[in-house]
């Protein structure tokens, strides 16, 4: 040995901490996918559970934060969907119980404030002589971790109101409105398959009476509506277009199914319709491998799913901006020219969702 004293290990860089965070999230979700307990792989009826919401504002968490908190709740056995920071809990007159361990989620900063300057480079002042600041978009968004606690880890919070138990017909009425206002063409055929046909740009559904319940029909339709949003004239989603080009056994096809499944879960929660996952067994190995290869994939998928849900719920009918669709790093977008599916492989123009159990023929 040289006899040199080894100094303390230098603190991890921001990139190293970020990589460790995504790896931790991915590892937990891989375990849940293998056990069939990942949030989007579980069915629930209205009133049984709800997606994570902020305890102070009542607003739902979004994208990857929503999926991760739902995953943590499943791991720890929480049934309360409310989460908040230590300060938010305190501001409500409550307290996080001693020894409780929170969950880390990410805050995304898309803009920064800087001192406004005139053409000569001098600071701009207002009428009172105070400096003027302007908000400018960041070339690359920054993320910061922060800790939140579940309401079940706290004492003194108001009693939890159960998820809004809208009557089934109310949820169905709202789901029907979403389908109609989307502008999607839906063709009903007496068969046992549900799919989106990109070549003809339409959703094919069995007759409604072939489904066991009304909500099941709309849950299936919302899944296919998620695929429908990826058309080049709408959100122009790479996973849809490349997945159909490469076929059902390709990684991009499975990645597209992941986005459609998470989006239908989010939209089903917003409509109080519940969630009925598709037959996901065929994609499990792809999902696991995707998260092993790139731990950030679940955040990309969740953000894309959030954009899908926002789109079908009518928040916007415009194509998403680069900022909305790229949460963690810049990715190349698929060119916006019309997609021409390969004529020699018509089956690849479809994304199959599920067979309807016990169809009436």
Over residues 113-141, mean pLDDT: 86
13 or 233: which leads in pLDDT: 233
Residue 113 lies in a domain: no
| Lowest mean pLDDT, pick from 111-115, 171-175, 309-313, 331-335 | 331-335
Residue 97 lies in a domain: no
pLDDT number for residue 107: 87
pLDDT number for residue 7: 57
Residue 245 lies in a domain: yes
Residue 107 lies in a domain: no
pLDDT number for residue 170: 84
Residue 178 lies in a domain: yes
For residue 263, is pLDDT > 90?
A: yes
Residue 202 lies in a domain: yes
Over residues 59-88, mean pLDDT: 96
pLDDT number for residue 135: 87
Range(s) of the domain holding residue 225: 164-361
CB neighbours of 261 closer than 8 A, spacing ≥ 6? 40, 41, 223, 226, 277, 278, 280, 305
Residue 12 lies in a domain: no
Structure confidence by residue, pLDDT tens digits, 287-343: 999 999 999 999 999 999 999 999 999 843 443 333 333 333 333 333 333 333 333
| Lowest mean pLDDT, pick from 23-32, 263-272, 333-342 | 333-342
pLDDT number for residue 345: 40
**What average pLDDT is seen over the chain?**
83
pLDDT number for residue 138: 81
Overall domain count for the chain:
1
Which pTM does this prediction carry? Answer: 0.79
With bands split at pLDDT 50, 70 and 90, how would you rate the model's confidence at 350? low
Residue 292 lies in a domain: yes
């Amino acid at each position: 040995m040289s006899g040199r004293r080894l100094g303390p290990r230098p603190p991890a860089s921001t990139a190293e901490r970020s990589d460790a965070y995504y790896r931790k999230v991915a590892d937990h979700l891989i375990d849940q996918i293998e056990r069939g307990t990942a949030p989007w792989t579980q069915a629930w009826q209205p009133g049984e559970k709800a997606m994570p919401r902020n305890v102070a504002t009542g607003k739902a968490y979004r994208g990857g934060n929503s999926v991760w908190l739902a995953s943590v709740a499943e791991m720890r056995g929480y049934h309360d969907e409310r989460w908040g920071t230590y300060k938010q809990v305190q501001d409500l007159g409550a307290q996080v119980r001693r020894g409780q361990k929170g969950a880390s989620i990410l805050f995304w900063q898309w803009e920064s404030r800087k001192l406004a300057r005139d053409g000569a480079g001098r600071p701009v002042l207002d009428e009172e002589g105070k400096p003027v600041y302007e908000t400018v978009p960041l070339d690359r968004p920054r993320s910061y971790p922060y800790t939140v606690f579940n309401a079940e880890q706290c004492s003194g919070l108001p009693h939890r109101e159960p998820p809004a138990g809208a009557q089934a017909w109310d949820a169905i009425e709202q789901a029907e409105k979403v389908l109609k206002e989307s502008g999607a063409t839906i063709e009903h055929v007496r068969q046992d398959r549900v799919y989106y046909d990109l070549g003809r740009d339409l959703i094919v559904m069995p007759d409604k009476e072939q489904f066991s319940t009304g909500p099941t029909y709309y849950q299936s339709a919302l899944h296919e509506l998620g695929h429908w949003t990826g058309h080049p004239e709408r959100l122009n989603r790479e996973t849809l277009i490349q997945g159909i080009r490469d076929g059902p056994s390709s990684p991009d096809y499975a990645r597209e199914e992941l986005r459609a499944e998470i989006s239908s879960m989010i939209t089903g929660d917003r409509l109080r319709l519940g969630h009925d996952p598709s037959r996901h067994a065929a994609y499990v190995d792809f999902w696991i491998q995707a998260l092993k290869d790139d731990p950030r994939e679940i955040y990309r998928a969740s953000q894309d799913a959030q954009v899908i849900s926002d789109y079908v719920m009518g928040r916007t009918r415009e194509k998403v901006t680069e900022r909305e669709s790229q949460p963690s790093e810049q990715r190349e977008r698929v060119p916006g020219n019309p997609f021409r599916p390969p004529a020699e492989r018509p089956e690849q123009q479809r994304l199959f969702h599920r067979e309807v159990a016990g169809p009436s023929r």
